[in-house]
């Protein structure tokens, strides 16, 4: 039905969705909005951005539910298993980072005993989760330093990014071994390989630029 709407009818429906905060319906209308001669095609980017942002806000209750589930997991006997304790804390850290709760994100990562290195990786998923956690921790340090920028925090962030890149490389290498051991063809490997390379390249590029920024900043302080 929404595909038939255009012109003033479409505009009225969009206005209704926005006024009633009916973001699901607005999402259904996006194809019609972007279609040629809809009369609203120039508003496509704006309305899609609004839909993404407001839908995320709508899912805040789901995030709260996830936080409670993870807290329950950590309080249960199953958390005595080191990998469960690690995974639950790292997922909770990711959730806090999504909510811009940088202090809590760092605290959860530290509670996971991640940096003690005494928890074996039982799966590639664990390795990827840890690589991601170091990246989150680095970004959290930067988030915390927007107001009070310190050299120490920047150095800690850089260390986290470097560690994340190292683990991402290990993840890709282990993934390659796993795929080769299962005698999969090369084309099956590409969808898994390229995202890892992109992650590694991003963090390598970010680390170099961050290091350059840090050096230039410290040289100014020294001057």
Tell the CATH topology of 2-182.
1.25.40
Other beta carbons within 10 Å of 15: 10
Q: Between 190 and 174, where is the model more confident? A: 174
The domains of the chain are located at 2-182
Q: What is the mean pLDDT of residues 156-167?
A: 91
For position 222, what pLDDT does the model report? 44
For position 135, what pLDDT does the model report? 93
User: Is the distance from CB of 112 to CB of 93 less than 8 angstroms?
Assistant: yes
Q: For 30-66, what is each residue's pLDDT tens digit?
A: 998 888 888 878 788 888 888 887 887 667 777 888 8
The lowest-confidence range among 16-20, 120-124, 175-179 is 120-124
The lowest-confidence range among 54-68, 91-105, 173-187, 190-204 is 190-204
Q: Rounded CA gap, 182 and 38, in Å?
A: 51
pTM (2 d.p.): 0.64
User: Is the distance from CB of 134 to CB of 164 less than 8 angstroms?
Assistant: yes
Instruction: With cut-offs at 50, 70 and 90, classify the pLDDT of residue 149.
Output: low
Instruction: With cut-offs at 50, 70 and 90, classify the pLDDT of residue 221.
Output: very low
User: Is the distance from CB of 70 to CB of 95 less than 8 angstroms?
Assistant: yes
């Amino acid at each position: 039905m929404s595909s038939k709407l255009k012109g003033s009818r479409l505009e009225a429906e969009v206005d209704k969705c926005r006024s009633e905060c009916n973001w699901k319906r607005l999402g259904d209308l996006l194809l019609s909005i972007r279609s040629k001669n809809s009369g609203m095609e120039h508003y496509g980017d704006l309305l899609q951005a609004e839909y993404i942002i407001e839908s995320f806000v709508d899912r805040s209750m789901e995030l709260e539910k996830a936080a409670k589930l993870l807290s329950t997991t950590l309080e249960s006997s199953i958390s005595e298993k080191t990998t469960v304790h690690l995974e639950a804390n790292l997922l909770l850290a990711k959730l806090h980072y999504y909510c811009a709760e940088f202090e809590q994100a760092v605290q959860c990562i530290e509670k996971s005993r991640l940096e003690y290195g005494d928890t074996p990786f039982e799966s590639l998923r664990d390795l990827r989760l840890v690589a991601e956690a170091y990246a989150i921790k680095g970004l959290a340090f930067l988030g915390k330093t927007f107001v009070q920028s310190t050299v120490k925090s920047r150095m800690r962030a850089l260390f986290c990014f470097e560690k994340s890149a190292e683990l991402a490389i290990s993840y890709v290498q282990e993934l390659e071994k796993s795929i080769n051991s299962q005698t999969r063809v090369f084309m099956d490997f590409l969808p898994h390989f390229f995202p890892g390379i992109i992650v590694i390249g991003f963090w390598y590029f970010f680390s170099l630029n961050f290091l350059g920024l840090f050096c230039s900043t410290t040289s100014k302080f020294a001057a």
